[in-house]
Structure 1
Amino acid sequence: MPEMLASYVAGSWYTAPDAGVVVVDAATAEPVARVSSQGLDTRAVVEHARRVGGPALRRMSFQERAAALKTLAAHLDSKKSEYYELSAATGATRRDSAVDIDGGIATTFVFSSVGKRELPEGNILGDGDAVAMGKEGTFVGRHVYTALPGAALQINAFNFPVWGMLEKLAPAVLAGMPSIVKPATPTAYVTAAVVRDIVASGALPEGAVQLVCGGLGDLLDHFGGQDLIAFTGSASTASMLRGHAAVTTRATRFNAETDSLNCSILGPDAGPGTEEFGLFVKEVAREMTVKAGQKCTAIRRAFVPQPLVDDAISALRERLDRVVVGNPRSESVTMGALVSLHQRDEVRGAVDALRRSAQLVS
């Protein structure tokens, strides 16, 4: 039986006592990890963020937070070969993993640079100049930004277990807010490995980041008006979260990045032999194959002028015929497996639905 992923909460690692959910290798179906949060004290998680992580981050200046992010990014960069090995089990090729792992680390470096260049010393950000409000000049006012004294919960999608976390963690650190990371179960073992290295690095103060592997339980019941939720995933799940009493009654801030609807449009003057036609074919094929199409920027519709349809289909077929699908650990493979059997069934269902009103090209 594979190892149970531990959650990092309230300053220690917690392992659930039950059997949990078994996560398997996307290509081989070998068990990789078990995931569960049973028995987790969710109130303690939220309170640790508010009473330990938040105050520690707020004591740091913007420049200190930016420096901490730079230290953290450099540390993760030195460990990324380990993440690549784990990422292969998600069905990701090395190219796919680079988007996630190197992309996430680069994003952390970028937020560090932005903080260093654009944010002031101290931990309060002014918004405009002071405005006189009295005739004698003794009464003035100025808007300022300060860190919320709450917790930032990030609920992430399965397709980018590293980037998805770091792109939320880095701005939260700059803003002086502690993060509670809830990774998607199918790829939680990759996120957990990165969080373990974040904790071990000592780059961030205790409580600045916590990890919950498994379900959230009643964690949102402890959220209020000084907390926020950042969600990436399906529109249906976002709708459910948006309707939670934490948001509707207690005014928890809620931000969602959900189902995207992207397309590629071929112009009527961009026929075969033109640079634009080649670019169109290349990008449609790439968006279908990178991460096996499991990303929000994937092209879901290709609009082609009727006179160019046959040419576009022929060019795409030729390009896609060169794609080798299989175990991403093999150097000859150019597209890995879908992350789980659930996703496979989702794709099959979507294809069946499309075939009722469209012709399948193969």
Structure 2
Amino acid sequence: MQVLNQQFIDNHWVASRGERRLPVVNPTTEETLAEVTAGHPDDVDAAVAAAHRALPAWQALSGAERAAYLEGFAEALSRRRDALVRLSSTNNGKVLAEAGIDLDDAIACYRYYAGEARRLDARQGQVVPLEMEGVEARCYHDPVGVVGLITPWNFPLVTSAWKLAPALAAGCTAVLKPSEVTPLPERVLAEIALEVKLPAGVLNLLHGDGEGIGAPLASHPGIDKVSFTGSNRVGEAVMRAAAAGTRGVSLELGGKSPILVMEDADPEQAADWVMAGIYFNAGQICSATSRLLVHRDIAEPLYAALAKRIDALALGDPLVDGSDMGPLTSARQRDAVLGYLAIADQEGLTAVRDGRRREMPTPGFFLAPSLYRDVPVTSRLWQEEIFGPVLCGRSVADDEEAITLANASDFGLAATVICRDKARASAIARRLQSGTTWINSEQLVLPQTSWGGFKRSGIGRELGPWGLAAYLEVKHCLIPA
């Protein structure tokens, strides 16, 4: 068993000052893969100091020079693709095909921001058109500074790429805290940093939990901005901690996303898209379309098609061909989802399929998909993010009711519209309060388009040019013409 008691600081692995260790568990076998340090505030101090030392030289590089390092990250991940896919599946529990999609997403992100770094050079010093004569204004974009990046456990290497790639492209230096639940894939980033000869201190990677690393990082006076992806509870704590120093924050938080199926949709095709939207990664995805709003004229055939597909899903070892769904990532998450199924019993919800009624593989933190229909909008399962393979459905009479119910949520991260009439589907989508809306599609996430949401789903956007802007300060210089 590995003992991961070192932190990557200033291009060196150094012993953590933390004495606590945390188990890293294979969710399929329930075996302990490793023990990882819980971290210590002194680790944060050392990493932030290293990032500050590295900042002036890294900031002084051209965007093209920084782009070469980002291309190096993409190429290094590509060379390790097969090994990292298996490692991610082993540590996270997602099936190999899903882990492969994740890694390709990360690679594409580093390549995209290499291009954005080059384009940043051309934007520096652009003349701003003015109405006043005798004055010239030029616009520049400077890095925010030293950034703290905190990532979740459900998408190893993906969410770190969404943060680290634009931060480095902008000229920031970084202290990255990956999840203590899935630390194994993320360690490769330190290995790659050494391989591509990234200057010392530009990337510092700290293992640990919220107490040892997360909270000290969010409140550290040497951090200029914090970017956090995770739960609303922790995100709000991060925001409070950052407020003490008036530091910037980007927050990608929860979701309770709707999927709208209108009466002209093909129920079989719609069922495929509904399944992909909620049961991918065992439902452990912030954009999971967990609220089904189906037109009453198509409800019965759609529920029948969904039930058939749920029954056909093969739960099993994610490393084995033929497995459609692996375990949930941790016992804690499985138990949290089981808690919601118990609430469904208390509320008297109507189950089309109950994940507890199916025989599950053992060992492992497996839980089969659940589907409830005619769920009241007052139900906790309808209102709260479950973060597991649970879908709640309601019938609607028309577009207006569907849109009203879709928007009646504290969250606004994503949505899907399934409607054969593309013009009608687009009109519905434009009225939804969501950062991303898919029309007649599975959940495509591209580096060129933004990611983030309305309301309690967070603050700011990742990906696209907006992701780069999150790590830049805008500066104008005005001089006599």
Question: How high is the TM-score relative to the length of structure 2?
Answer: 0.68
Tell me if 1:141 matches 2:141: no
Contact 1:127 1:145 in 2 (8 A): no
Q: Report how far residue 175 of structure 1 moved.
A: 0.5
Equivalent residue runs for 1:167-316 within 5 Å: 167-192=162-187, 194-215=188-209, 216=213, 218-223=216-221, 227-244=224-241, 247-270=242-265, 274=266, 277-316=267-306
Contact 2:148 2:225 in 1 (8 A): yes
- For residues 274 and 303 of structure 2, the distance between their equivalents in structure 1, rounded to whole angstroms, comes to 11
Equivalent residue runs for 1:91-106 within 5 Å: 91-106=93-108
Q: Judging changes above 3 Å, is the alpha-carbon distance between structure 1 residues 29 and 5 closer, same or farther for their aligned structure 2 residues?
A: farther
Q: Which residue of 2 aligns with 1:126?
A: 125
Name the stretch that deviates more: 330-339 or 10-19.
10-19
Secondary structure of the residue aligned to 1:3 is: strand
Q: Report how far residue 4 of structure 1 moved.
A: 2.0
Q: Report how far residue 129 of structure 1 moved.
A: 2.5
Contact 1:37 1:212 in 2 (8 A): no
Q: Which residue of 1 aligns with 2:451?
A: none
Q: Which residue of 1 aligns with 2:71?
A: 70
Tell me if 1:341 matches 2:343: no
Q: Judging changes above 3 Å, is the alpha-carbon distance between structure 1 residues 30 and 15 closer, same or farther for their aligned structure 2 residues?
A: farther
Q: Report how far residue 327 of structure 1 moved.
A: 1.0
Q: Report how far residue 301 of structure 1 moved.
A: 0.6
Q: Report how far residue 127 of structure 1 moved.
A: 5.2
Q: Report how far residue 199 of structure 1 moved.
A: 2.1
Secondary structure of the residue aligned to 1:26 is: coil
- For residues 15 and 342 of structure 1, the distance between their equivalents in structure 2, rounded to whole angstroms, comes to 29
Q: Report how far residue 141 of structure 1 moved.
A: 3.5
Q: Judging changes above 3 Å, is the alpha-carbon distance between structure 1 residues 327 and 268 closer, same or farther for their aligned structure 2 residues?
A: same
Give 5+ residue unaligned stretches, structure 2: 354-481
Percent identity over paired residues = 27
Question: Which has more strand, going by share of residues?
Answer: 2
Q: Report how far residue 329 of structure 1 moved.
A: 1.2
Tell me if 1:111 matches 2:113: yes
Q: Which residue of 2 aligns with 1:3?
A: 3
Q: Report how far residue 248 of structure 1 moved.
A: 1.8
- Please point out which of 334, 340, 350 is paired with 1:359: 350
Tell me if 1:36 matches 2:29: no
Contact 2:36 2:207 in 1 (8 A): yes
Tell me if 1:55 matches 2:56: yes
Q: Judging changes above 3 Å, is the alpha-carbon distance between structure 1 residues 65 and 305 closer, same or farther for their aligned structure 2 residues?
A: same
Q: Report how far residue 188 of structure 1 moved.
A: 1.1
Q: Deviations over 1:43-82 (max 9, x none)?
A: 2211110112x12311210111122211221122111222
Q: Which residue of 1 aligns with 2:319?
A: 329
Q: Deviations over 1:248-280 (max 9, x none)?
A: 23111001000012111111233xxx3xx3332
Q: Which residue of 1 aligns with 2:475?
A: none
Contact 1:130 1:142 in 2 (8 A): no
Give 5+ residue unaligned stretches, structure 1: none
Name the stretch that deviates more: 261-270 or 170-179.
261-270
Q: Judging changes above 3 Å, is the alpha-carbon distance between structure 1 residues 132 and 205 closer, same or farther for their aligned structure 2 residues?
A: farther
Q: Judging changes above 3 Å, is the alpha-carbon distance between structure 1 residues 361 and 168 closer, same or farther for their aligned structure 2 residues?
A: same
Question: How high is the TM-score relative to the length of structure 1?
Answer: 0.89
Contact 2:2 2:34 in 1 (8 A): yes
Contact 2:22 2:38 in 1 (8 A): no
The one-letter amino acid paired with 1:191 is E
Q: Judging changes above 3 Å, is the alpha-carbon distance between structure 1 residues 249 and 196 closer, same or farther for their aligned structure 2 residues?
A: closer
Q: Deviations over 1:186-226 (max 9, x none)?
A: 1111111x2232222225221111111003153334335x7
Contact 2:94 2:281 in 1 (8 A): yes
Q: Deviations over 1:134-178 (max 9, x none)?
A: x7x4x6433322223x31111111011101111111111111001
Q: Which residue of 2 aligns with 1:21?
A: 22
Secondary structure of the residue aligned to 1:21 is: strand
- For residues 318 and 222 of structure 1, the distance between their equivalents in structure 2, rounded to whole angstroms, comes to 52
Contact 1:261 1:300 in 2 (8 A): yes
Q: Deviations over 1:259-307 (max 9, x none)?
A: 012111111233xxx3xx3332001112233211111221111111223
Q: Judging changes above 3 Å, is the alpha-carbon distance between structure 1 residues 203 and 264 closer, same or farther for their aligned structure 2 residues?
A: farther
4+ long deviations beyond 6 Å: none
The one-letter amino acid paired with 1:51 is R
CA RMSD of aligned residues (A): 2.1
